[in-house]
Amino acid sequence: MFQSLFSPSVQHAIDLIGIFVFAISGALLAVRKNFDVFGIAVLAEVTALGGGLFRDLIIGAVPPAAFTDLGYFLTPLLAALLVFFLHPEVERLESWVNVFDAAGLGLFCVAGTTKAYEYGLGLTASATLGLATAVGGGVLRDVLANEVPSLLRWDRDLYAVPAMVGATMVAVCIRCDMLNPVTSALAVITAFVLRLLAMRYHWRAPRAWNRRSTVVEVREGAQP
């Protein structure tokens, strides 16, 4: 399956890189919200580990990896510390952070789907948990920061859709008995590229057909 793409040590390193980048995004939001150092650390941990923790609890992989591997717990704290002291510099590198975040999205949606299937879930449920693994931490981050989750907002570039495509590709490959290192890598790359294209061209999901709303939309930074 997906784990056969790399040796265990390389796979572990990739996981930590993805966790680190997700944690950076959570810590940056905490700084923008004027949270204290504890709030920065909490948002970093939740963003980095929330999706995988949710998946492991659902499939019964307990205790979750976040509690059995010290590296998984300490890596978000390292990201939080970096942002705490160097957040202006990190903000200037946010475009690169977004690229690595897109890579983490692709890796986690594929790894999450595969792990869920290996624990006995059906294809649809496995793909759903693959999606949850990739985006769950971001949803928890936004909820704790008192924001509408980014993947639910029409004015944000597509985020959940690339992860959904990657997870669905894995499920289809499993159904056709075609899941191998090559097809797993293809699913990762597809989700990654779709996310990059969405950021580059500002692709967004359509809103309701013939929408008639009396809600006043307030853009970020604008006065209500």
Of the candidates 39, 148, 25, 132, which has an alpha carbon nearest to the alpha carbon of residue 87? 25
Q: Look up residue 43 and give its DSSP letter.
A: H
C-beta of residue 186 within 8 angstroms of C-beta of residue 110: no
C-beta of residue 116 within 8 angstroms of C-beta of residue 55: yes
Of the candidates 116, 124, 121, 106, which has an alpha carbon nearest to the alpha carbon of residue 165? 106
CA atoms within 13 A of residue 214's CA, in its CB half-sphere: 0
For position 223, what pLDDT does the model report? 46
Residue 217, phi-psi category: left (phi > 0), alpha (psi -120 to 50), beta (remainder): beta
> Could you tell me the end-to-end alpha-carbon distance of the chain, in angstroms, rounded to an integer?
51
E-assigned strands of 77-172?
A: none
Per-residue tens of pLDDT for the chain, all 224 residues:
555 555 677 778 878 888 998 999 999 999 999 999 999 999 999 999 999 999 999 999 999 988 999 999 999 999 999 999 998 988 888 888 888 889 889 989 999 999 999 999 999 999 999 999 999 999 999 999 999 998 888 889 999 999 999 999 999 999 999 998 899 989 999 999 999 999 999 999 888 887 776 555 555 444 44
